[in-house]
Amino acid sequence: MTTVLIADDQPLQRFGFRMLLESQDDLTVLGEAANGSEALRMTAELHPDVVLMDIRMPGMDGIEATRRIVATGDRTRVLILTTFDLDEYAYAGLRAGASGFLVKDAQPEELLSGIRSVASGDAVVAPSLTRRLLDAYVQHLPAGGGTADVPLPGDARLSALTEREREILTVVGKGWTNTEIAARLHLAESTVKTHVGRILAKTGSRDRIQAVILAYDTKLVEPS
């Protein structure tokens, strides 16, 4: 038995999906969510095998919800439904960790088999989207065209940082721990934490690892 959560802001759409899914012996609809945060909450609560996720929803959208659901490490798989054939968000969904995406005007059988594939750990992509996906894939693989490397010492992402914060980010980029930073810069560890916390917030990094990467990417720290 495969359990499914439906996340879509349109009630009528949800109804249609529910009817279709309930007509199958091996599928059960655990519930319906009208936006991303509901989907997130209900997923944490109900642990469905598959979340049928619409992208465009008020509040938290389907991409962010997907990212967070995947981040939980749960077995729950996310199958994204896009309205349009070409939906650039579909790629974002992919990067967010979705196990597949289908277009809403797909045949019912496609949707059902897609759900079953995803539930069993496979991934699915709508044929009409697969083409673009493959194109993007082969482009990115051997894409020798190195593009401009524009060093950008003053990267936009760093502009919000104060002088002190940039100093801290530099040593974070060198791999120093909070304790080491505190000792070598004669600060309290709590101060270091405050600084690092603000750096993460301002640069949109989720942890110091991302900050290290940012430091390298912006050439604030050079490879040795």
Q: With CB under 7 A, what is the number of residues at the site for DNA?
A: 24
Say whether residue 142 binds its own copies (CB under 8 A).
yes
Pure H helices in 120-207: 127-140, 163-173, 178-184, 189-203
The tokens for 185 are 């810069």
What is the strand order of the sheet 2-7 is part of?
A: 27-33, 2-7, 50-54, 77-82, 100-103, 124-125
Among 60, 97, 106, 191, binds its own copies (CB under 8 A): 97
Distance linking the first and last C-alpha atoms of the chain: 54
Give, as one character, the DSSP assignment of residue 158. G
Q: Does 63 bind its own copies (CB under 8 A)?
A: no
Nearer of residues 21 and 211 to DNA, judged by Cβ: 211
Which positions lie near DNA, rule CB under 7 A? 162-165, 177-179, 187-191, 193-197, 200-201, 206-209, 211
Which positions lie near its own copies, rule CB under 8 A? 70-73, 94-95, 97, 99-100, 117, 121-125, 127-128, 130-131, 133-134, 136-138, 140-149, 173-175, 177, 179-180, 182-184, 186, 189, 207-210, 212-213, 216-217, 219, 223-224
